[in-house]
Structure formats: structure tokens, C-alpha cells
Amino acid sequence: MATSVKLDDELKNRIQRLADTWQRSPHWIMREAIREYVEREEARERFKQEALASWVAYQETGRHLTGQEVHDWLDTWGTDNETEAPPCHE
């Protein structure tokens, strides 16, 4: 799929300077920027969908952990007394 993108001269010059510095082509710089953007936005969308699913599950079951319970659990990480995640409750 061939695609063209119109860029203003200032942005073209910035991309060219990066390309020269990194010894890459401007095309490579633009592809990398687009790939990173798409990956970041896909991850953001996955996070959003997981959060919405968690909210729905909470509304249906009422099962949860309090902030203090999570905080106390996280405080054990990296210690000799590291514990498993506490069980959810209503």
C-alpha cells in the first residue's frame, strides 16, 4: 500500500537533520516514528479496554481490593517477606 504524506518544509528539514545524524534515510525515520506511534496507541487502547472490562466485572461482582490492600502488598515486593496478591473480596 503506497501512501504519501505532505509535510511542511520545517518538519522535512528536521527529519533530514535526524536522518543525517543517525545515518539513516528520511524514509526510515518516518517509518520508525509511525511504527512507534501506532504501537503506543494500540497499547493505550488495550489498556483502556482492560480498564473498562475491569469496571464491568466490578459492577457485576463487587469483587475488589482497597488501595491500602494493594499498597501493603506492593510494599512486600523485593523483600524476604514478598507475598502473593491478596484475594479480592466484596
Return phi, psi of residue 70, to 5°: -65, -45
R_g of the chain, CA atoms, integer Å: 23
Q: Kindly state the percentage of the chain with pLDDT values over 70.
A: 100
Q: What is the reported pLDDT for 3? A: 87
Q: What is the reported pLDDT for 2? A: 84
Q: What is the pTM of this model?
A: 0.72
Give me the chain's average pLDDT, please: 96
Kindly report, residue by residue over 64-87, the tens digit of the pLDDT.
999 999 999 999 999 999 999 999
Kindly report, residue by residue over 16-46, the tens digit of the pLDDT.
999 999 999 999 999 999 999 999 999 999 9
